[in-house]
Each structure stands twice: as structure tokens, then as C-alpha cells.
Structure 1
Amino acid sequence: MVHMPIPEYQLFIHPSDRNELRKDIWQDDPVAAKLTINKKKYAIDLAYRGSHIRDLPKKSYHVSFYKPTTYRQAKEVHWNAEFKDPSLIRNKLSFDFFNEIGCLSPNSRFVFLKMNGKNEGLYLELESVDEYFLTNRNLPKGAIFYAVDGDANFSLMSDLDKKVKESLGLGYEKKYGTEQDEMYLQELILGINTIPRDEFETEIVKYVNIDKYLRWLAGVVFTQNFDGFVHNYALYRNGETGLFEVIPWDYDATWGRDVEGEMMREDYLRIQGFNTLTARILDVKTFRNHYKKMLEDILNNKFTVDYLKPKIEELHALIRPYIEKDPYEKDNLHIFDQEPAFICAYIEARGEYVRSQLDTLE
């Protein structure tokens, strides 16, 4: 994998607008800003992004382009601070891994941000999952829904208040699509929960791309994103096939670290995963066997220290000079330098654990 040099972004926000942002970190309304990249100027809207990460010292941002209206074939991007990840590479490593095992996943790259002339630090620029995401991959047009909270659990019961949901669409925000697409989503949730067990194998394939779903499940299981089953994902309904597939999102709490950056045991997440749809799919022997073979293949070819270590070390070497200039990260270089070995140790341990559990899929 060849990485281009990390681009430098010059961001200017009027002091009054910056104060407006800081006044209420939970406000989603953007402020106007100017962005210069390689001497080209862009007028943008800028807002804080994330939930629990907003009150951290280094902010993450949502960026919308309006003059010109696109940048690198995108109308919006996300700048992630990766503040709780001492390696800063877990999110990117995860999305690259999902791509390699055959799952749709956002593109990402590192950028170095200067704000009003001062170093603001290293950021991971994430592609937005929207209609441009589909166009850039020559995928059929189709609906995209974001799973925004724990109600996106593929169940009739709320994961938040443990009651029957008032609406089948709870937990989802439509990013792209029509009112008809909202009906398709509700049909999906209803079908997952009402198709009789003896009909499930033949009926669910009318709603879900099972192979793609299992690839996503494998990605969550290997990276061990505990939150990935009820949010931290987007749903894409392929307009040609009518089938749904899952796209991962927010994968910094992975590869052996939790949302606080603390160590997560390699056996914390079972290989059967969670949520209603996963449970019903893995209840079908044919699907379960397919999943088992998929895990074995990934264990032998993609989720190995030999395969991943060069990628980890390359990313680490790429961003290290910028960590030294990042006002929020430069004092943690000693921890940053230990992370490649930490992640490799996790891969070894998690791989052994997953392999030891394969018989539970019989």
C-alpha cells in the first residue's frame, strides 16, 4: 500500500464564529469557514461532530463544501481527532480491513490541520456515506440510513428503554432516499422479527445480502467493536437488487482498546456477535457454515500478524512526524511508539481466540 504525503489544510474561522462554536459544543448548527488546500480556497460549513467525544480537548469536525460544492468527489467529509486512540490509526486500519475482506467501507486518509495559523493537529479525514459514496464506487443508487442510537438493533424492542418500539424506523436517520425507502426499511425490521423459523432461510435473502452481512459481522468480530451491532453503522439498500447491506462507521475503539482507550481483553466479544438479525441468521445452519468458512479464510489470510504488521508499521511511520507537531499528541509519543506492538499482540491473541471458538458454530 503506497500512501501519499499527508496534505496540510489551512483553516480560517472568524474569531466570533469560533466563539460561537465553543459556546455550545452540543450545537449542530455549522459556522462558515475558509479552507485552503494546495493554494486552492474552499468556502465551507464547519460543525463539531460525535457524541461522547465533543467535550474532549481536541475536537472532531463535520465539513460541508459549498463553494465549490465538492472536493475530491465529495460534498462533505468528517475530520476525526481520534483523541482516545493512542495510535490514531485504529479507525483507518479497521476501514481498510473491512474493504479487504469484501465489505463496503468508507475511504480515509490523514490530514494535518492548521487553524487560524496555528497547528491544530493530525486528523483522519473520513469519506461520508452518502450518494457520492455510491457514485464513486459505481454502485446502483439506493437508500442510505444511519444507525444513530441503540434502537438500530434490528428488533421490535427498544435497546434504550426495553419497551416495544413506537416506530419500526426508530434508531435510524435517512441520509439519502425516498419515503418509499423508509417503508422498505420498516418491512426489513418487520420481516426479521416475524418470518417463521422454518421459512427464514428462504425469505430473509429477499431482504438482506447475506454474504455481505456476514462479511460485515466478521469485520466487527475481528476488530472487536463492541458497539458495532446496534449503532456505528449505515444501511445501504441496493436499488437494483433491493437487498440491504451494512457499512461500518466509527471504529476507533477496536484492535484491543475500548472507547476510553483502555485495554480490552481479546475474548471480550463472542464470535456470534449480537443483535436480532445476527442471531436469526446464525440460527440457520447453511448461513452458519458459510460464516465459519469465512472466518477460517480471514484467519488464514487477512487477520494475521504477518499480513497486518507491515500495514500498521507503515501507517505509524507515516504519521509520526505529524504527531510531533500535534499540540494534543506530542507529549504522548512514548505511548504512540508502543502501539504497533500492542496492536500486533492483540491480533495474535484475538486470532487464537476466534480460532478456538469456531467449533461453537457447528
Structure 2
Amino acid sequence: MNAHDQVAPADATLDKNFQRAAAAAAVNCTRCQPKRTSSSVSSIPAFTFDTSGVPVDQQYDSWCKSFSSMLEFGQRRDRSRGFDGKQTVWDLGRLVFSRIRTGALEFASVPAHTRRQALDHWTLTIPLDGSISTIGPAGSFQGGAGIVQVHSLGRWFEGRVTNSEMLMLFVPRDSDPELAHVLAASEFSTVDTAMGRLLSDYFIGLAKRLPAVETNNLPELVGATQAMIRACLLPSSGNIETAQTPIARVLLDKARRIMQSRLFDPSFNAHALRRDLAISRTGLYRMFEPFGGVMHYLQHQRLLDAHAALADPNDKRRIIEIAEQRCFSDGAEFSRAFKREFGYTPSEVRAGRKSGVPSRPTGEIATAAPEERLGLLLRKLHG
């Protein structure tokens, strides 16, 4: 095991930052003492990358590479002084949680001409010290210790972070509808409210206790985290979209069923779905905006279905036949879309090197280069 692979417990500096960030609205929590009933019970997978294990003149480039799937960092001509960065990332299945220490730097979302290859998740960031300044589509905002910030990786933004420690939660856009609309209404803003502070306290407690949580508790942990986000961000959004009402949720479920039944229909499009649902163009746009739009969601479902067919050893059809059935007329286009979605090619699935759930298994992430693991885990959320 080298310096990259060590997952160190929270140190004194981090504990001091936890206390500082939570001081404004501390919440008393009893420390969990999980009871292990079997030697097969395991901890939640966690991965650490620390630039101190990289040659000094390569530290900044290595740090940039670890975030390259979601952000670009400003250029630095002088690499000789190195760069101090450390990240610990936990794989929560349908969420990814990280604890990050970084030196000051400038950041920007992936440029427009390559954005289709970028990740499309929401991030909830809580600085433990230092501050983050962002310019986004609707203007600028800034947040310091203990203040939740919401960004959308699928849209343009840029900014600057000071020397900081922070916590980040990554939430896939194709999440549950209610949570998606809460986050869509809150993106590119700070949540400097009493409820926002409560969410910050929850994240701080989560970071301190995750090393003791076992994998069999993941469903409850993810459910509790999603419920906290919904409860704490809803008051700050002010103008939550109508798709949060029970009627709109029923409509969204109906829309999904219609799309699933028309996966193989090349004539099916947003207009046809709007006609079947008997709703306005604006209503349909609002319904699927958190998922990247109707056609983006439809392609995602077609690719998931193609993945299942390719992984089925009893399906002997050629890759192009499977692609054409799912409305991809060009094999190269299908391969590019498939790799963007899952991080590997249709041929790898067909050859048996990738199978089952369309995501990168934890074992593969563990054997990847340390600076690649965050990107792989975030790609995994798209599955």
C-alpha cells in the first residue's frame, strides 16, 4: 500500500474545521457504535488520493487530472513548489460523498464544445474553512464555512476557491423526481438559512461517521440523506416547480412508462410524448428539465436497455443490430454515446469484460490509478 491508497481517519486539523463550521448551529448526535454480527460485513468503499505521494513537479497536474471529468483548473507555469491536495471519496451507490483539502485555484466547468462528454450531476458543497466564489448562469455568489452551495455540473460556471477544506456530495440528475426539482430550483446558489445550516451539520456528522458505517446500512443512509436535502432545501427555493405535486408525479410516472414502451420506435419524440400526456410544451419541458430534457432521458433509457442486451450471453445478435433496434442508425454514433454514458465500449460488454449493472464495480475502481478514481465513481452514478 502506498501513500495514495491510505484512507486516514479524521485528523486534529479536520476536527477543528468541523467544529468551526458547525459552531453557528451545532446539533448533538450520539456517536454510532455499529455491532458487527458477521465477519462478512464490510465498511463502505472509500478511496484516498493525496498529492504528497506524487513527485513535486507533477502534483498540480495530478490534482487537475483527478477532477478532469467535471472541472478544468487554471494554468500554472511554476510546478516546482508542488500543490497540496487530498481527497477521500466514499462510494454510496446512488450518491458519492467526498472530503477534500485543496490549495487555492481557479476552476471552470467543462467547455461547451466538450460538454456532452462531461458529467451531469448536482454537487452540494460545504466549505469547512476558506471560501468559494462562483459566477454562474444567473450571476455570482460566494459562500464560506458551513454554508451549503449548489452547483450543476452540466451547465456553465467558473470561479475561485481559497485554501480550503470542504465536503462535497454528488447527486445524479436522474434521481427521484422530487429531489431533482428541489435541486434544480436551488442550483447556483448558497443556502444560508437555518435549514441550510442544519443540512451542513448533517454533512459534517456524516463525514466523521462514514468510516464506521457498514455497507448493509447504505439504503437507509442514502434515503436519510435524500430526505435531509429535500427538507432543508425546499424552504430556500421559493418557486418549486409544479412537478412536485402528486398530480405531476403521476404524470412523470406515466411519461416514463410511455417512453419505456416506445424505446424501439424511431418516430417517437418529445412532440409525441406531449400529445400522449396532453400537456403543454412548457409543462413537458419543466417535467424533464432536471433530467437533461426529454430526448436526453430517452437516449439514457435506450442505452441502458442496450447494455442489458449486450450483457445477456443468450443474445447472439451483432452489436449494430442491437443498436439499430434502439434507434441508433450509425454504429459509430452508438459506440460514442455508449462510452460517454458508461465509460466503456459496447464491445467490452459483449466480450464479457463488462457485464451486469452498467457501472464500474468497486473492485475495478480500487485498481485504477488513484487520481482517476473520483472520475470513475462519478461516471458510475450515470448507471
TM-score normalised per structure 1: 0.29
The structure carrying a bigger helix percent of its residues is 2
TM-score normalised per structure 2: 0.28
